[in-house]
Amino acid sequence: MSDVTRILNAMERGDARATEELLPLVYEELRLLAAQKLSREPPGQTLQATALVHEAYLRLVGDEPQSWNSRGHFFAAAAEAMRRILVESARRKRSERHGGERDRIPLDAGDIEVAMPSDQIVALSDALDALAREDQEVAQLVKLRYFVGLTLEQAAEVLQISTRTAYRHWAYAKARLHEELTDSR
């Protein structure tokens, strides 16, 4: 059992000190993942990696007790938290009061674009929500790859699936998201 899993279990049991122990163990890894993701964002991104990690961490260990059964489960939750923060930021930027208009632009059929303007992030999030209704595991893989920046091998480890399954899921997700984004234009 890793230190992170041990601390997560202690947090679930109500150990107040465990929350203080968790941040130093996961902070640098979360910050590196956030920095990787934000480095691929277009110029003008106002959200910094440190702020993204802090906001995600606050959402993860906030006032309500959480239950994580492993290190992978925690990082999957972190991926979802970072995704939601980035989508909220993108929506805020494109809102009418800020002069934004919603344009849906399809993803390249070959791969998911890494550096997207904020309005495209919102379109991708909507398509990802539709994908999640069909296959939660495939959608989770996309979140880990796109919003956290994990490799397929790392995402497979977090999801506890084989690398071959991760590659099949990734191919399906790319095709399905391309279809979803093309249909919504």
Evaluated on CA atoms 95, 145, 66, 47, the torsion sign reads negative
This prediction's pTM = 0.50
Evaluated on CA atoms 61, 67, 72, 77, the torsion sign reads negative
pLDDT tens track for 68-88: 677 777 788 888 888 888 888
pLDDT at 103 over 70: no
Residues 149, 114: Cα–Cα separation, whole Å:
9
Rounded to the nearest angstrom, the gap between the alpha carbon of residue 109 and the centroid of all alpha carbons in its chain is: 21
Using the 8-state DSSP alphabet, how is residue 97 labeled? G
Q: How confident is the model at residue 139 (pLDDT cuts 50, 70, 90)?
A: very high
> Residue 55: what residue type?
E
What is the residue extent of each domain of the chain?
3-183
